[in-house]
Amino acid sequence: MTNNFEIFGKSIKDPEKHKNGDFYDYIILDNNLLVLALADGVGSKNCDWLASQTACKLFIQFCKEQLVENYTSDDIRKICTQVDFEIAHHTEENCKGMLTVFSAIVWSPKNDSFHFINIGDTRIYKCSNGDLQQITEDQTKDVIMRDKSGKLLSSHGSTIVRTGVTNALGTGNAYIKVDINTLSFGEALILASDGFYNILPSFKSDMLQLIQTSEISREADKIFRLYVDYQNDDASILVLRRNDINPETKAKYQSVNDFDNIRANTPKHLLSFLLMDDLRFNIKNKNKEICIRILDVMSNNFFLPSATQLNELLNYCKISNFTDGQIYSRIVALIRNLKK
What is the C-alpha R_g of the chain? 23
**3-class SS of residue 84:** helix
H, E, C per residue of 2-16? CCCEEEEEEEECCCC
Q: Are 6 and 241 in contact (CB under 8 A)?
A: yes
Q: What pTM was computed for the model?
A: 0.89
Mind listing the pLDDT tens digit for each residue in 103-124?
Answer: 999 999 988 999 999 999 999 9
Tell me what pLDDT residue 178 has: 97
Q: Give residue 146's pLDDT.
A: 55
Condensed to tens digits (0 to 9), the pLDDT of residues 257-274 reads 999 989 888 998 999 889
Q: Which fold has domain 5-137+166-242?
A: Phosphatase 2c; domain 1 (3.60.40)
> Sheet holding 100-107: strands in order across?
22-28, 34-41, 100-107, 113-119, 178-182
- 284 vs 336, residue with greater confidence: 284
Taking the domains of the chain in order of start, what are their residue ranges?
Answer: 5-137+166-242, 247-338
* Predicted confidence (pLDDT) per residue in 118-156, tens digit: 999 999 999 998 899 999 999 888 665 455 566 655 565
Encode pLDDT of 33-79 as tens digits. Answer: 999 999 999 988 989 999 999 999 999 999 999 999 899 999 999 99
The tens digit of pLDDT for each residue in 215-249 reads 899 899 999 999 999 999 999 999 999 999 999 99
Query: What is the C-alpha to C-alpha distance for residues 235 and 197, in angstroms, rounded to an integer?
Result: 8
Helix, strand or coil, per DSSP, at residue 79: helix
